[in-house]
Amino acid sequence: VYLTREEEKMLEGEYGEAAAKALRLIVRVGEALGAERLIKISHAHVSGISYDNIGEAGLTFIRDLYEGGGRASVFSTYNPAGVEAWGSRVIPVEPAFWRKQIEIIETLEAMGFQRSMTCIPYQLRRPNLGEHLAWGESSAVAIANTLYGARTNREGGPIALAAAITGRTYYWGLHLSENRKPSVVVELRGAPPLGELEAGILGYIVGESLEGKIAYIDAKMATVRSVQALCAAAAAAGSTAMCIVRGFSPEDEGPPVAAEDKITLSIKDIEAKRRDISSANLDEVEIFFTGCPHHDLDKIKDILRLLNIQGIKRLEKPIWVAVPGVYSSRLRDLAEKLAQRNVLLLPGTCLVVTRLGRLVKAVATDSVKTAFYLPRRHNVGVALASLKSFVRRYGLR
Ligand code: F3S
């Protein structure tokens, strides 16, 4: 890997022990992949910061970098944690787990990371077209490449952390223009614009069947949130890191002329896949979960609006909503209002990285990414359903 004079100095320790260690890690991975040089990045986003995921080894890695003088040299954010940002209101955790998780968060913030606790870093800093990033959350990676035309590979937690400190990553994969072209077309015929749930199911099919190839998605999407759901599900079900979505992706140049393959689907295939993914039904679920990826403030207000329009005073079974931890203080009043209706906000966390399996046995969700992970990680049954259908079923007037 070719290094600039500045990078050589960093490697030799002129910018401190942690920066040298971090750059060594990036160079080693770059060499293994065949990268010719490094590239400066403008935003690092670190995933895998739940103590449930990384345990003592991960905490020690972060602490050592901090103690070695490691500081974020670019705008840096971090993923949801294994606890709620405002304390255990909904999901109980043991005091020892809480302390370890808080130490991880405090160490990252002492290193200069923005208070974030979210998987939607694009809401905290909007990526620009062609900009280089080093992000480690698979859904956010796919969204950055697909919706914003920014450039990032799917980085592991340690690499994203090393990139935050050095301000660089290896110049390889999706950082290069020639690797960002779609090679396969996925067409959805005769379907109305897809909402989040249906778009997520389409994403699941893309991720599962295309082994990380870049697909040109020729389907109507109802909203940007539908595209985000598609990306999140494709990234969970396969190694998808980018799609081109007709009408939404800034790098859309039309379907590839010499596509390797074309998959044609209908709305019946989407419905069949929904049944296939679901392992529980609406009657047996204990909660509805939404906010994977996290919901922003507008979406939370939409939920309240939906309850008002339908005249719902309270829900018989709760709705849990994952939102960015960084919004927690702004959300207190709204959270009170929602809690009276049995809608509970979970700031800074998500069901996949918590200890959910001890609490419930079956969950309804409109997130296909959640539906992918909950049975695998927590042995929890999942019913894929829209929020509206849950509200109709469990709303009390
Ligand atoms: Fe975010 Fe957790 Fe889903 S990190 S994308 S809410 S699995």
- Rounded distance between C-alpha atoms, residue 226 and residue 249, angstroms: 13
Distance 236 CA to ligand 1 centre (A): 10
77: three-class secondary structure by DSSP: strand
Write out pLDDT tens, residues 360-392.
999 999 999 999 999 999 999 999 999 999 999
Amino acid residing at 252: D
Write out pLDDT tens, residues 188-210.
999 999 999 999 999 999 999 99
**Sheet containing strand 184-189, strands side by side:** 243-245, 215-218, 184-189, 261-266
Distance 380 CA to ligand 1 centre (A): 16
Percentages of the chain per state (helix, strand, coil), in multiples of 5 = 45, 20, 40
353 DSSP assignment: G
* pLDDT reported for residue 359: 86
Distance 239 CA to ligand 1 centre (A): 16
Strands 314-315 and 395-396: antiparallel
Pocket lining for ligand 1, CB < 6 angstroms = 79-80, 119, 139, 232, 292-294, 322, 350, 352-353, 369
Distance 292 CA to ligand 1 centre (A): 5
**Sheet containing strand 381-384, strands side by side:** 343-347, 319-323, 287-290, 362-365, 381-384
State yes or no: pLDDT of 133 exceeds 80: yes
pLDDT (average), residues 73-102: 93
Which residue's CA is the closest to the ligand 1 atom numbered 2? Answer: 350
Confidence of residue 226 (pLDDT cuts 50, 70, 90): very high
Burial 141-179 (b: 16+ CB within 10 A, else e): bbbbbbbbbbbbbbbebbbbbbbbbbbbbbbbbbbeeee
Ligand 1 nearest atom to the CA of residue 322, by list position: 6
Cβ contact 251:182 at 8 Å = no
Which residue's CA is the closest to the ligand 1 atom numbered 7? Answer: 352
51: three-class secondary structure by DSSP: helix
* pLDDT reported for residue 356: 75
State yes or no: pLDDT of 355 exceeds 90: no
- Rounded distance between C-alpha atoms, residue 225 and residue 387, angstroms: 14
Angle at 81 between CA 75 and CA 87, to 5 degrees: 115
Write out pLDDT tens, residues 294-326.
999 999 999 999 999 999 999 999 999 999 999
Instruction: Report residue 43 as tokens.
Output: 């935003």
Cβ contact 110:76 at 8 Å = no
pLDDT (average), residues 59-67: 96
pLDDT (average), residues 146-162: 97
Distance 261 CA to ligand 1 centre (A): 31
Other beta carbons within 10 Å of 3: 16
Closest residue by Cα to residue 208 from 12, 8, 368: 368
- Rounded distance between C-alpha atoms, residue 351 and residue 320, angstroms: 9
Write out pLDDT tens, residues 244-269.
999 999 999 999 998 889 999 999 99
